[in-house]
Amino acid sequence: MIALLRGDLAHIDDTSCIIDVNGVGYLVSASTRTLSVLPRPPTPARLLIETIVREDAILLFGFAESSERDWFRLLLTVQGVGAKVALGILSALSAKDLVTAIAAGDRASLTRAPGVGPKLAIRLLTELRDKAGAMPIGAPTLPIGTPTGLVADAFSALANLGYRRAEAAPVIERVMAAAGDAATLDAVLRACLRELAK
């Protein structure tokens, strides 16, 4: 089983990336959260891997953090949750948000994830209630103290201009870190667009 890949990041799209390891390109599916923290190709990269073997394919799923991989494994234990839905949940909710949503019985937060309807949300809450508290919440992917609303607005504005989350996230992170508490949406967007245009 493949547990880790280290190589050159050859390509990123909205749901996966290709890592070139000594001339062999591995297609790795990942959450938008993991894809957003990867560097721009071609750059060395490292991903933790969960390998799923089916009759017709060997599928690789990549994670920037072990906490996200642990959550992926736990989500797959819930009936009705396949790998695609698990990645959708991890794209919509961070590990910390998942712990909070499950502890609070918050169905609405879970149904924001693609593929999660009301019935599956109830099953997730029921089956994971006793396990979620012991799960890791991981490290934040954006600087501590960053106003979430401003980051979300910046992502939304750049998406409307045609930029993918995977390419916008590292730029927003750098701009927000440089701007600090004085950041405004207008200034953040101008700085991001300057960097993305390079």
pLDDT tens per residue, range 48-73? 999 999 889 899 999 988 888 988 99
**The predicted structure's pLDDT at residue 21:** 93
Cα–Cα distance list, 1 to 42, 61, 196 (Å): 26, 12, 37
CA angle 161, 91, 198 (to 5 degrees): 35
CATH class, range 66-132? mainly alpha
Cα–Cα distance list, 198 to 46, 171, 192, 194 (Å): 25, 12, 10, 7
Count CA atoms closer than 13 A to 66's CA, side-chain side: 4
Residue 102, classified by CB atoms within 10 Å of its CB into exposed (0-12), middle (13-18) or buried (19+), is: buried
pLDDT tens per residue, range 82-114? 999 999 999 988 887 888 888 888 888 888 888
Judge: domain 4-63, CATH 2.40.50.140.
yes
**Binning pLDDT at 50, 70 and 90, where does residue 187 land?**
confident
